[in-house]
Amino acid sequence: MSPTDLAVAALTLTFVNADVRSVHLPDGSHVGNLKHIGSAWKFKAVGYDAAGNVLPGGGPFTEQHNTVCAAPDAAELSAKLGLMA
């Protein structure tokens, strides 16, 4: 499934700690993490296999892994990942 196949309004971010936000689709599916690395916030895509094991760099946003954002902002990340609000 590609990001353009996803009918979403926007992603949501959940606070994990000062340097990490988990990234979710509106249905609650976890699709990655936004991590503060150096002076940038980088999106780290994740997916899950049939057994529920985490696949770092996987999932519907594999091609957008390492997308850089200025801040932990759901609207900015949604736009950079090609999702329309």
Number of domain units in the chain: 1
Does residue 56 have a pLDDT over 90? Answer: yes
pTM: 0.85
Beta strands 40-48 and 20-24, pairing class:
unpaired
**Structure tokens of 52?**
């529920």
User: Is 62 or 1 the better-scoring residue by pLDDT?
Assistant: 62
Does residue 73 have a pLDDT over 70? Answer: yes
Q: Which domain holds residue 21?
A: 3-80
Give me the residues paired with residue 69 across strands.
Answer: 41
Q: Answer whether residue 85 is part of any domain.
A: no
pLDDT in tens, 3-54: 555 544 689 999 999 999 999 998 899 999 999 999 999 999 999 999 999 9
- Residue 3: predicted pLDDT: 52
